[in-house]
Amino acid sequence: MAVTDQLAAFALVLGMMFSFSHSFETQKIKKTAFIFSILGIAAGCVLFSLRVYDPKGMNIFLIALNRKLAVTIAVISLSSLVLMLVAWVINKKIFKLASLFLLGILVLVVFSYLLPPVLQYTREFIYFGESGISTNAMLRALGFTLGIIVFVLLTLSSYEVHQSLRNTNERYLFLSISILILVFEYGATAITALQRLRILKTSDAIFNISVFDVMIWRGANPNAFLYAQLVLALIMLCFVIKTHLKPTGEFTNRALLRKEKARLRDCRRWSWSLCVFGVIAVFIVVILHYYDTKPPAEVQPEPYEITDGIISIELEKVSDGHLHKFSYVTPNKFDVRFLVVKKPAGTAYGVGLDACDICGIAGYYERGNDEVVCKRCDVVMNKNTIGFKGGCNPVPFEYEIKNGKIFIDVKELEKHETRFR
């Protein structure tokens, strides 16, 4: 899902860029977009390797570089659009070659920008505490692979449909609009990046729109430009289907007529292919994203007994291996939540706050029958480590188990009340 979020919009633009480069007669020029794509992929892999090799040392540098790349993409995409329009109007080879070269640079930089976070997902196939051959790990790897396949097929379909357009003006028109959408997409991203780099202030205005408003809109509409590219692709494929329904003109023999019919049929099929993979992309980024990010069902606090400031919980009620949540309201009106879960190994219990030192009071939820997961970072807890300090584990506190009950002094909970402000 995340791979499609990152790459689907660019796949549509990339396909048209490949088509544009193939409009040149010289074989070497035809390979321009492909060569720059390989260079961009190589650059993205290098940046990813730097982060893996030295995550702490390179983190600040790579974050700043990523923001500068976003600004660079916005500038190059705008420049390439202007140069393309000049080449379109003047119709001279030198301007076409210059615009193709600039588009190639754009492909290189976009791959450098997009590929490192995509490759980072390969390091998240296995969560902490999971087995390397677990079902969830295999599903994540499969999802990543399918995302790459959708990207490749979207690119290929976009290329074939753009190639099916009958004349150069039509190809220029659709590619120009696609690049224009890219300009707006990375223009909005660049404004956010410039604010993070302290070059712009949130109170600054661009065309009477404040930087802060752009940042808010961009964060609230992460897939707006993907939808715009898909709408453009839909218009393009409908145009191809309409203009490729039946042969036009005269044919000297039936063989040439059959050849033309086969060509038109292939064009229509690629148009339908682009439609299908566009729908798949929307399904992934809308439907699957909704279910993946849907807030988990909240574990409701359970009742317990409290006598003279001592909370007691029957072990029998929490011995089923599931997550059990409890709540204690302190005299200062802080709602301190805490958890109890029976550990898989032996008869021990994990007891801790519904909070951790890393993610604060985001809390935890139960996924499936045996996973305790942090709501904020989605890390799966190893139940055997619950009750110990460190990592994203629930913050431990003192308690006692005897006579078939867990006993907790409320003063232990009151020590942590300020966490739950």
Integer-rounded Cα radius of gyration of the chain: 28
pTM: 0.74
| 421 residues of the chain, pLDDT tens digit each | 678 888 999 999 999 999 999 888 788 888 888 999 999 999 999 999 998 888 778 888 888 999 999 999 999 999 999 999 998 888 888 888 999 999 999 999 999 999 999 998 888 777 655 666 777 778 888 888 999 999 999 999 999 999 999 788 899 999 999 999 999 999 999 999 998 888 988 888 877 888 888 888 888 888 899 999 999 999 999 999 998 888 887 878 889 889 888 989 999 999 999 999 999 998 888 888 777 666 666 678 888 898 888 899 888 888 888 888 999 888 888 888 888 888 877 788 888 888 887 777 888 888 766 678 887 777 777 777 787 877 778 888 888 888 888 898 988 888 888 888 7
| Domain 305-420 top-level CATH class | mainly beta
Residue whose C-alpha is closest to residue 273's, from 224, 229, 240 = 240
**Burial classification of residue 57, based on how many CB atoms lie within 10 Å of its CB (0-12 exposed, 13-18 middle, 19 or more buried):** exposed
Residues of the chain with CATH 2.102.10: 305-420
Q: SS in 3 state form for 376-414? A: CCCCEECHHHCCCCCCCCCCCCCCEEECCEEEEEHHHHH
Of 81, 111, 92, the residue nearest 175 (C-alpha) = 81
